[in-house]
């Protein structure tokens, strides 16, 4: 028990560090204005065209770091700063999200796998904690069904953990595609490319920390279950 709390505390601190580092990196690279003068929207539209993708729309969404690709609606959703600004950070994010669109267009296996389990994960993420707590409460009373419910909750949570790890190669590959295109299409100078690469590196680390945190929690629940048998 104590070991888990120590591990959870370490992961929380690392998560806070990575999150703050990511924000500072994007703030830093937002000061590096692109010599080509293109906005995030224009960068995204060009990358889509260069990859022969003509049925995906680039739109603006509210907030910061809310950028994402929606495969169902076929939209590259860029946060307002990324959509409008003309700097290395905006170029990195815009190209990264288009990297997901390219994955979709080329039937990238890891993206297909992640998309296939999204409906199940959306349900399990809402139910897992409730089912786990219900199972724990019932098992304390000595009810045999409590352990069964607890196990069901663990399996639901395990699905969200699997999803977190499947997300890693999807995100890494999108960044790889983005950086390769930015360089091959001469969209950025060497300095701008270095900034974009560094920004995407820290963005990827947020997914790594999240996956490790989910795994640690899953192992904790499993240890409790095994201890009650």
* Closest of 166, 207, 203, 179 to residue 21, by C-alpha: 203
User: Whole-angstrom Cα distance, residue 70 to residue 25?
Assistant: 25
Q: Is 171 a catalytic residue?
A: no
89, two tokens: 């950070």
User: Whole-angstrom Cα distance, residue 68 to residue 78?
Assistant: 7
User: Whole-angstrom Cα distance, residue 141 to residue 154?
Assistant: 19
Catalytically annotated residue among 42, 97, 171, 192: 97
Residue 205 makes CB contacts below 8 A (sequence gap 6+) with: 18, 22
43, two tokens: 């960068």
Catalytic site residues?
97
């Amino acid at each position: 028990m104590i070991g888990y709390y120590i591990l959870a505390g370490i992961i929380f601190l690392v998560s806070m560090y990575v999150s703050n580092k990511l924000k500072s990196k994007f703030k830093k690279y937002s000061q590096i204005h692109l010599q080509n003068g293109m906005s995030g929207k224009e960068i995204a539209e060009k990358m889509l065209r260069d990859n022969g993708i003509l049925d995906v729309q680039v739109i603006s969404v509210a907030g910061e770091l809310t950028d994402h690709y929606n495969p169902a609606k076929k939209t590259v959703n860029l946060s307002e700063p990324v959509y409008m600004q003309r700097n290395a950070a905006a170029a990195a994010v815009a190209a990264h999200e288009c990297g997901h669109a390219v994955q979709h267009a080329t039937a990238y296996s890891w993206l297909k796998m992640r998309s296939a389990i999204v409906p199940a994960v959306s349900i399990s993420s809402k139910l897992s904690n409730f089912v786990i707590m219900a199972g724990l409460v019932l098992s304390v009373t000595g009810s045999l069904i409590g352990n069964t419910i607890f196990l069901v909750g663990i399996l639901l949570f395990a699905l969200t953990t699997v999803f977190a790890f499947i997300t890693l190669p999807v995100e890494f590959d999108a960044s790889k595609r983005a950086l390769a295109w930015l360089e091959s299409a001469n969209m950025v100078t060497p300095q701008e490319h270095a900034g974009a690469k560094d920004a995407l590196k820290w963005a990827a680390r947020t997914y790594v920390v999240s996956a490790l945190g989910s795994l640690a929690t899953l192992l904790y629940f499993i240890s409790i279950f095994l201890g009650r048998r």
